Amino acid sequence: MTVKKTFEEINEKIRKGNAVVVTAEELADIVEEKGISDATKYVDVVTTATFGPMCSTGAFLNFGHSDPPIRMEKVELDNVNAYAGIAAVDAYIGATETSKDRDIEYGGAHVICNLIDGKKVHLKAYSRGTDCYPRKELDTYITKDTINEAYLFNPRNCYQNYSAAANTSDRTLYTYMGVLQPCLGNVNYSTSGELSPLLKDPYLRTIGIGTKIFLAGAEGYVSWQGTQFASGKPRGENGIPLSNACTLAVIGNLKEMSTDYIQPAVFEKYGVSMFVGIGIPIPVLDSDLLSNLSVRNKDIYANILDYSVQSNNKPVLAQCSYEELRSGYVSIEGKKIKTSPLTSLYKSREIAQVLKGWVAEKGFTLQPPIAAFPKDVSLKSLGKRGS
Amino acid sequence: MRRCTHCGACTAACIRGALKIDAKSGTVSYDESLCTYCNACIKACPARALTNTNQIRRPYVSGERLSETYESR
Buried residues in A240-270 as b, exposed as e (16+ CB within 10 A): bbbbbbbbbbbbbbbbbbebbbbbbbbbbeb
Query: Are A89 and A83 spatial neighbours (Cβ–Cβ below 8 Å)?
Result: no
> By the 8 A CB rule, do A202 and A240 touch?
yes
Torsion (CA) A306, A310, A312, A318 in degrees, nearest 10: -10
Whether residue A145 contacts residue A136, with contact meaning beta carbons closer than 8 Å, is answered with no
CB-nearest to B12 from A178, A263, A326 is A178
| Residues facing A320 on adjacent strands | A302
Band (pLDDT 50/70/90 cuts) for residue B63 is low
pLDDT, one tens digit per residue, over A50-73 is: 999 999 999 999 999 999 999 999
DSSP string, A131-177: SSS-B-EEEEEE-TTTSS-EEEEEEEES-SS--EEE--SSS-EEETT
pLDDT given at position B37: 86
Residue A74 has what pLDDT? Answer: 98
Which residues of chain A does B3 touch, with a Cβ-Cβ cutoff of 8 Å? 263
Q: Is A279 exposed, middle or buried (0-12, 13-18, 19+ CB in 10 A)?
A: buried
pLDDT of residue A385: 64
The alpha carbon of residue B44 is apart from the nearest alpha carbon of chain A, in Å, by: 6
Distances (CA, A) of A304 to A107, A319, A332, B46: 30, 6, 9, 22
Active site residue A132: yes
pLDDT of A332 reads 93
> Is B54's pLDDT higher than 60?
no
DSSP notation for A103-116:
EEEEEHHHHHHHHH
| pLDDT over threshold 90, residue A45 | yes
On whether the CB atoms of residues A342 and B9 are closer than 8 A, the answer is yes
At A193-207, the pLDDT tens digits run 999 999 999 999 999
On whether the CB atoms of residues A166 and A307 are closer than 8 A, the answer is yes
Task: Please check the confidence at residue B56 and state whether its pLDDT lies above 60.
Answer: no
Average of per-residue pLDDT across A109-138: 98
Please state the rounded mean pLDDT for residues A379-385.
81
Q: What is the pLDDT of residue B53?
A: 55
Cβ–Cβ contact A85 with B under 8 A = no
Task: Answer whether A250's CB lies under 8 Å from A158's CB.
Answer: yes
Q: Which domains does chain B have, with CATH numbers?
A: 9-71 (3.30.70.20)
Interface A-B, measured as beta-carbon pairs within 8 A, has a size of 85
Omega prior to A68 cis, within 30 of 0: yes
Confidence label for B55 from pLDDT (cuts 50, 70 and 90):
very low
Whether residue B73 is predicted with pLDDT greater than 60 in this model: the reply is no
Dist CA A170 CA A21 (whole Å): 49
Q: What is the CA radius of gyration of chain A?
A: 22
Mean pLDDT for all residues in chain A: 96
Residues of chain B with a CB closer than 8 angstroms to some CB in chain A: 2-3, 5-9, 11-13, 15, 17, 20-21, 23, 25-27, 40, 43-44, 46-48
